[in-house]
Amino acid sequence: MFCKLSLAAVAATFLSLVVAEGDWQARLSKPAIHPNLDFIEDGLQRYLPEISFTLNKWNDNRIPKECKDRVNNANDFDIYEIHYDDCGEPWLLCHDRNAPVSAETIASQFSKVPIGMRQWVRLLIDVPAPSTSAYNAGGTIYLNNANGRMISVLCHETAHSTNMGGFPGDNFEDLWSGYDNDQGVPDNYAQTNMIENLAQVTVVSIYDENVPGGIQSIDPNWWQMQNQLRAMQKYGRLGGSTTTLHVPGQDKECVHHVSVGDIVTK
């Protein structure tokens, strides 16, 4: 059974979240514990399982309007349905044929994102670019210069989608309280604002709940963000899964599916 959400509904949910205890857009004043979270990528790659999938390439001239509106030349793109074994509905991938990795690589990496979170992503778009980066716009993940080691990036961007619709609407008061009581935030990027901090703490939570020994086995300074971490793990257990959104297999199948919107011609 799927609950299909329109972009307007997703946006409305997101707007309901940004009125919170503090200013979600303001730069955070507490220090970064690490320069970045690259050190947890190996553990995520090893212990988050790849979900079996099949790719179905569209052989006609159709493309999601969202893709066409965001890219330079729609004719450079192949459109794929990604069918994962843990969801009855496929995701769509708009894949630039000049991108550095294959559609298979994107699908494989994305499969490792726990289904309780992955189900809130609308659409994937990957393009060539001078450097690797990503962003989330209205539930769509846009990948620049993607590679085969992007689990932490995909979990971060998926956290933005999840937080638009996957959690109850208390405006993450416990996260704000945790921040007030902690000594720092995960890394430099988390200092950008609370929106990015929430996503980075979610990445740390996924590591903590899936890698043997948890975050304390690799990061002796984890306690400096422990209250934020426990807050996000609490929210993960309230987000529609039988135990937690942050662990694969806790939802046997997806229970939500976000509509990609209109399909148009290239």
Q: What is the C-alpha separation between 102 and 28, in angstroms, rounded?
A: 37
pLDDT at site 113: 96
pLDDT at site 34: 98
* Mean pLDDT (10-residue bins), the chain, 266 residues: 41 39 88 97 97 97 96 96 95 97 98 93 97 94 96 96 71 92 98 96 97 97 98 83 75 83 97
Beta-ladder partners of 141: 124, 136
pTM over cut 0.85: yes
Residue (of 1, 92, 96, 113) closest to 50 by Cα position: 113
pLDDT at site 10: 40
Q: What is the C-alpha separation between 233 and 246, in angstroms, rounded?
A: 8
The bridge status of strand 256-258 relative to strand 3-5 is parallel
Q: What is the C-alpha separation between 187 and 171, in angstroms, rounded?
A: 22
Beta strand residue intervals within 18-90, DSSP E: 32-34, 53-57, 62-64, 77-84
The bridge status of strand 123-127 relative to strand 91-96 is parallel
